[in-house]
Amino acid sequence: MKSAEFITMTSRTWDLAKSFKFVALILLILPRKLSTGINATYIEEKKLWSFLLQNYDIDIPPSRPIAVSVRLSFRALVELDIAKEKMVFGGVFVFTWNDPRLLWNVSQYPVRMTRMTKVWRPVFIIVNSLAGTQWIWNEFNMAPLALPDGNMFLEIPAFTECKCEVNPSLFPFDEQLCGIEIIGWPIEAIYPSFGSQQIQENATGLDIVTYIGNGEWELVDYGTRNTSIEYCCSGLRAPTLTFFFKFKRLNEFYLVNFILPSVAMSILVVWTFVLPVETGERVSYSLTIMLSYTVLLTLLSSMMPTASVNMPYIGNVVNGTRNIKGKL
C-alpha cells in the first residue's frame, strides 16, 4: 500500500516538474520571438526610411500647390478674462497634407505606417496671439505619421493666449464671441515654382468631442471661416483660417453677488423718506447706502475692461442710483 502511494506521488511530482519545464521553456522562447518581431519591424522601417529620404530635401516643399487640412481639437477653455480681453485655451492642432515624394509599395516594404522626423511640414502662425507672432511649432518634436499613399498627419499640442474683443454691455447676461486666427506662411515667396500653401476647406473643422466644460462659461456655438489676406507688399495671398467660439456666461454667481445686492440697496433707498427727521439718522443712513454703492461699483469696474465703449448697463444703473441718492 505504501509502495503504491509512493509511486503515485512520484508520478505527480514528475508531471509537475514537466509542467515547470514547459513553462520555463515558453518564458525563454517567447521574449526572443517578440524581440525578433520587433527588430524585424524596425529593420523594415529603417530600409523604408533609407529609400524615401535618399534624395529628400526637408527645406523644399512638395512640387505642386499644397492643400493642407487644419483641424483643431478644442480641449478646454482655461480662462476668458473680460478685463484683459483675452482667451486662454488648450487643444491640439491636427495638420494633414500629401507629399508625393513619400510613396512606397507595401508589398516591397511591409510597413503600413511610420513616423518620420526629417520631412517637410506646413508652417502656420497664430495671428491674434497675445505673445506676438506665435508659430504653431512642434515644441515636443512629434514626428508626422506617414502612410503609403503619401498622406501625412501631424498633431501639435497648443496652450495659447489669444486676443478676444469683448462686449460686456449685458453683463452678467452677456455672450462673447472669440476666435483663433491662423495664417499659412506663403511659401511661394521663397519657392516661386512650387505653388502656394492652401487650406483645404472640406477637411477643415473643429472637434469638441474631448471638450472639458468651464465653470464660468458655456460653449453654445462654434465654427470655422476661411479667407485670405495679402502678404506684405508682394501681391501674394496667404490663406487664413479662423476658429470662432461663442460662450455664454453662467450668471448664478453674479446674480447672488451683484444683482440681488443692487436690488436690495435700491429698495433701501426708499426708506430714506420713511425715516423720521426727529431720529437724526437720515443723513448717516444715506451715507451708508452711498458707501455700499461705491463698493459695488469698485468691484464691478475691476472686472470690466478699461475701454470707453460697450459699458455694462448694470454699472450705469448702479452709478445713476448712487447719484440720485446723493442729491436726495
- 274 shares a domain with 323: yes
Pick from 193, 217, 250: which residue ends a domain?
250
* Domain annotation covers residue 61: no
- 237 shares a domain with 204: yes
Residue 204 is predicted with a pLDDT of 61
* Domain annotation covers residue 127: yes
- 262 shares a domain with 230: no
Give the number of other CB atoms < 10 A from CB of residue 299: 12
* Domain annotation covers residue 214: yes
- 280 shares a domain with 176: no
- 268 shares a domain with 231: no
Which of the pair, 257 or 3, is modelled with greater confidence? 257
Residue 177 is predicted with a pLDDT of 94
CB under 8 Å to 64, separation ≥6 — which residues? Answer: 100, 194, 195
Pick from 217, 250, 283: which residue ends a domain?
250
Least confident of 16-20, 137-141, 152-156, 224-228: 16-20
- 78 shares a domain with 206: yes
Torsion angles phi and psi, residue 230, rounded to 5: -80, 135
Residue 86 is predicted with a pLDDT of 92
Residue 234 is predicted with a pLDDT of 57
Which of the pair, 173 or 312, is modelled with greater confidence? 173
Residue 190 is predicted with a pLDDT of 43
* Domain annotation covers residue 305: yes
- 245 shares a domain with 98: yes
**Helical H segments across 156-309, by residue range:** 252-254, 260-274, 282-302
- What is the arrangement of strands in the sheet containing 217-231, beginning at the earlier edge strand? 134-135, 124-126, 175-184, 236-249, 217-231
- 192 shares a domain with 86: yes
Whether the predicted pLDDT of 279 surpasses 50:
yes
Q: Band of the pLDDT at 219, cuts 50, 70, 90?
A: very high
> Residues of the chain with pLDDT > 70: what percent?
70
- Digit-coded pLDDT (tens) for 5-51: 434 444 544 444 445 444 444 444 444 443 344 445 778 888 888 89
Count how many domains the chain has.
3
The answer to whether residues 243 and 93 touch, using CB atoms and an 8 Å cutoff, is no
Whether the predicted pLDDT of 217 surpasses 90:
yes
The CATH number of whichever domain residue 98 belongs to comes to 2.70.170.10
Write the DSSP assignment of 89-143 as a string of letters.
EEEEEEEEEE-TTS---TTTS--S-EE-SSS----EEETTBTTSSEE---TT-PP
- Digit-coded pLDDT (tens) for 92-137: 999 998 888 899 998 898 888 898 888 888 888 888 888 776 777 6
- 177 shares a domain with 38: no
Cell numbers for 223 = 465654427
What range defines the domain where residue 80 resides? 66-250
Q: Which helix (H) or strand (E) holds 6?
A: helix 2-52
Whether the predicted pLDDT of 1 surpasses 50:
no
CB under 8 Å to 296, separation ≥6 — which residues? Answer: 258, 261, 262, 265, 318
Whether the predicted pLDDT of 194 surpasses 60:
no
- 86 shares a domain with 18: no
What's the rounded Cα separation, in Å, for the pair 318 and 254?
A: 14
Pick from 222, 250, 278: which residue ends a domain?
250
CB under 8 Å to 6, separation ≥6 — which residues? Answer: none
Span between the terminal Cα atoms of the chain, in Å: 118
Residue 299 is predicted with a pLDDT of 78
**Three-state secondary-structure class, residue 207:** strand
- 167 shares a domain with 27: no
Mean pLDDT score, 208-215? 89
* Domain annotation covers residue 57: no
- Digit-coded pLDDT (tens) for 61-99: 776 667 888 889 999 999 998 888 899 999 999 999 888
The answer to whether residues 189 and 231 touch, using CB atoms and an 8 Å cutoff, is yes
What's the rounded Cα separation, in Å, for the pair 318 and 301?
A: 11
